[in-house]
Amino acid sequence: MAETNKKKMIKLACTGLGIILFASAVVFVFSSSKLYSQEDEDRALLERAKTFFAPLTEKVIDNPQNPVTPEKVNLGKMLYFEPRLSKSGFISCNSCHNLASYGVDNLPTSIGHKWQIGPRNAPTVLNAALHTAQFWDGRAKDLEEQAKGPVLNPKEMASPHEGFVVDRLKSIPEYVELFKKAFPEEKDPLTYENVAKAIAAFERTLLTPSRFDNFLQGDLNALTKEEKEGLKTFIEVGCTTCHRGKGVGGDIFQKFGLVKPYYEVIKYKDKKQIDIGRYAITKNEGDKYVFKVPSLRNVTRTYPYFHDGSVWSLEEAVKIMAEIQLGRKLTDDEVKKIVAFLKSLEGEIPEDALKLPVLPASTPQTSKPDFK
């Protein structure tokens, strides 16, 4: 009798153990299936993203007509921070494109000579080398051409003419030597053209790869779950129509207000504030309200938004863009997800760019600051 009970107990124990093992196996299989399913989903998102975007892997975006060299970059960095390029001796490139605040001044529009207010928001200089053209209206074909503009603009740095800038720099022996090193094949290297080339060479090093680039290169863990959902929403909503490529924008021109006029959504007290965009340059009717599509890299740090700096909230900017460009009213959840994705585009500013250069001293021959 005792032997029979013992056998029953053993049988029950074995049955119970079998149930436990079976249940554990089911849980393991279910968990594994769920795990693999999420990885497959992430990989599918990655492959879809790669049809719209390309990773930023370069350390320099070169220009065959102005090859980037260490000597040019060193000189260009000094000139970028050099206030003596301005008539007042007070304003530098960095004044409006502050590298410490991601290449912008975080003002609706910038303050120039004699406290004049510029007409458009200062776009970030970071990753600008990726763009198809420079300025909101694309009037400069590249960074070299762009660098010439603000120095002579009466509302910006206000130097009266190219010779004024060259003479001021030539009065400083250290600059004369630095231009010789940067442009060794030229007989008279300190020219206004080379001022712009040196600044542009420095700007071509201002690239900020981000976690999104790691994701595009295959690191599925580079983005959070919310950021991946945001990327998916960004694609599905249609943002990639304009914001795509290596710069996530910056490579095409588009009408601002494709579906609905932007000035009907952004209310202006003065209609003179309504900017006609590229039309002012081309006089082509089709270019009215057309602007270069901005890059969204570091967009979380480059507020306020749009060509006029009229919107301070990124969430609000996303809503407006969906409405006037795509004819969509986004839900708060969609906006939240897209903004989460946009945060993954924030990269690190090159360490060397954040180290202030020591500028050479003026000489008795250097023209004095002029605030008139």
Catalytic residue IDs: 156
Residue 122: which of 158, 149, 144, 89 has the closest Cα?
149
76 burial type by CB count under 10 A (0-12 exposed, 13-18 middle, 19+ buried): buried
Find the Cα–Cα–Cα–Cα dihedral 70, 76, 81, 87, rounded to 10°. Answer: 160
Q: What is the DSSP letter of 278?
A: T
What is the Cα–Cα distance from 154 to 53, expressed in whole angstroms?
A: 39
Find the helix packing angle between 314-326 and 332-343, rounded to 10°.
110
Q: What are 146's two structure tokens?
A: 């762009």
Residue found under tokens 């938004």: 305
Phi and psi for 67 in degrees, rounded to 5? Answer: -55, 135
User: What one-letter code names the amino acid at 22?
Assistant: F
